[in-house]
Structure 1
Amino acid sequence: MSTQSVVTAMRVLEAVSDNQPAGLSELSREVDVPKATVLRMLRTLGELGWVAQSGPQAGKWVLTNHAFAVASRGSSGSLIRDAAMGPMNALQLDTTETVHLAVPDRRFMVVIERLDTPHVLRAFLPLGARLPLHASANGIAYLAAADESYVSEYLAGPLEAETPQTVVDPKALRKVIAETQARGYSINEQGLSTGITSIGVAILGPGQVPAGSISISGPSSRIVPAKFEEYGEAAVGTAREISRALGAYSAKGY
């Protein structure tokens, strides 16, 4: 790809960001480039995972979660983070455990914010950490809120164990997802890190589409089964508050 092509592709990407969901004609006018060229750039950006056609609006283009996740690693001003900070802070104070905020990026959840516990012994995931969906409370919660086609596609891919407790069998994972849907929150006991238990809930965005997730994480010696319901209900309330701020109103109760 020539330098000019790269420049054009970036201009198209920025135009999608500014106008999404954006149509081909609109983008062509915005960047002052023929529609055939814009379409070629969109297809290339789509192959790279940066843009995609909007489901309910054929011919419209939007940024993907991959683009959002990459940008979030270097920015503190994302919409979901701004909506989440207040409720997350209240959740951290209530539970005194570490709270993580993550957004999806292909087969991972990417941590974009973390509020730490004052305890010396604690869970710690660096900002930008990529968490496999099946191995993390954040990811399992996200899968529980995603549509069936997304879940099926994910479970058909490679499922690697992060610890001896990671669930990697697709049938077993479907059971874990169903249990998460029934109770409203995920429980991940040492599936991502040995000695760490986490509870996660999906955050919904416009159209009731899962936009991310939050989790409460800490040593398994502190987050014991007797705490699951208390922390789970607290996380559900926090996720619901964030989801409302993002414009989602879900019949699932988030």
Structure 2
Amino acid sequence: MNSVRKALVVLETVADLQPVGVSELAAHLKQPKTSVQRALETLHEASWIRPAVGERTRWELTFRASRLARKAGNHFGLREAALPIMEQLRRETNETIHLAVLDDFEIVLIERLESPHAVRHVEPLGGRAPVLSTATGKAMLSCMDGDEVARVYNEAVKAESQSVAVAPPPSLDALMAELAEIAARGYATTTSWRQDVFATGAVIVAADRRPIAALSVSTPAGRATPENRALHAQLLPIAAQQISEHLF
């Protein structure tokens, strides 16, 4: 079981850092290179990872991981309900649309539709992101009660303290104040997850208002004009509500 756990951790880290080599993985995980190399070989033999194009000593996910992410969405009917609305949102914004769920204290991407622009922002399917730094994460947190937010916050801060954080996490009080604003206006924004990327996110809720997923529009900062930001802020809550209605 320990070997399985190690291999899964390596797989998740490859997803976060791809394309990535064994030395970088070992340093990031603080594990011996030999054990990381064994896990990589096992994952490669099982067709979960492959050598990156033109970089035989670096690794990236195969489509098997993407297929698993899609099946996770299918299990709850979420992907089927979301895709037509995501396609409409992509046509209206001409930007990349992401669909994500919350897994403990991280965001996991389960679907995306890419922008037609040559310059665009795209996250890998199955990739993970910090809940405190993403528009999708903050949108989902805005629908939780204070105790649940505090639990997720403490776990997220603890995890970020063991890795290289994109930006220092806010205090819990500052986060709660921001979440109240997000809940009031119906959408979240962020520029702190990816450099030169502006994202807007809205929560998809169950019939009891429990957050089950979030939708986002991600755009390079150069196209994040006041007009485009206002358009995304207008369209996203409507799209998220439509998905909720299709689900329930």
Q: TM-score, normalised by structure 1?
A: 0.65
Output aligned runs, 1:186-201, within 5 Å: 186-189=188-191, 191-201=192-202
In structure 2, distance between residues paired with 1:88 and 1:74: 15
Q: Residue in 2 aligned with 1:163?
A: 166
Pick aligned residue for 2:69 from 54, 69, 73? 73
Q: Which residue of 2 aligns with 1:22?
A: none
Query: Given that residues 122 and 218 in structure 1 are in contact (C-alpha distance below 8 angstroms), is that contact kept between their aligned partners in structure 2?
Result: yes
Tell me which amino acid in the other structure corresponds to 2:225: V
Change in CA separation of 1:196 and 1:227 when aligned onto 2, cut-off 3 Å: same
Task: Call closer, same or farther: CA 1:245–1:187 in 2, change over 3 Å.
Answer: same
Answer with 1 or 2: which has the greater Rg: 1
Deviation digits for residues 63-102 of structure 1, max 9, x if unmatched? xxxxxxx995151633011110111100010000000001
Q: How many Å apart are 1:148 and its aligned residue?
A: 2.1
**Unmatched runs of 5 consecutive residues or more in structure 2:** 2-65
Residues 1:146 and 2:149 aligned together:
no
C-alpha distance 111-145 of structure 1, shift in aligned 2 (>3 A): same
Q: Distance in 2 between matches of 1:77 and 1:157?
A: 28
Unaligned ranges ≥5, structure 1: 2-69, 248-254
CA distance in 2, matches of 1:72, 1:145: 27
Name 2:185's counterpart in structure 1. Answer: 183
- CA drift of 1:135 comes to 0.8
What secondary structure does 2:122 align onto? coil
Residue deviations 1:217-252, cap 9 Å, x none?
0111112344322211100110000000111xxxxx
Cα deviations across residues 13-57 of structure 1 (Å, max 9, x unaligned)?
Answer: xxxxxxxxxxxxxxxxxxxxxxxxxxxxxxxxxxxxxxxxxxxxx
Which structure has more relative contact order (CA 8 Å, sep 6+)? It is 2
Structure 1 pair 87–137 and aligned structure 2 pair: CA distance change class (3 A): same
Return the offset for 1:110: 0.7
CA shift for structure 1 position 209 = 1.2
Q: Are 1:162 and 1:192, in contact at CA under 8 Å, matched by a contact in 2? A: no
Residues 128-151 of structure 1: CA distance to partner in whole angstroms, max 9, x if unpaired?
A: 011211010100000011222211
- 1:118 & 1:71 partners in 2: Cα distance? 23
Once the two structures are superposed, the pairs formed by residues 187-226 of structure 1 within 5 Å of their partners are 187-189=189-191, 191-226=192-227
Q: Which residue of 2 aligns with 1:246?
A: 247
Aligned residues: 177
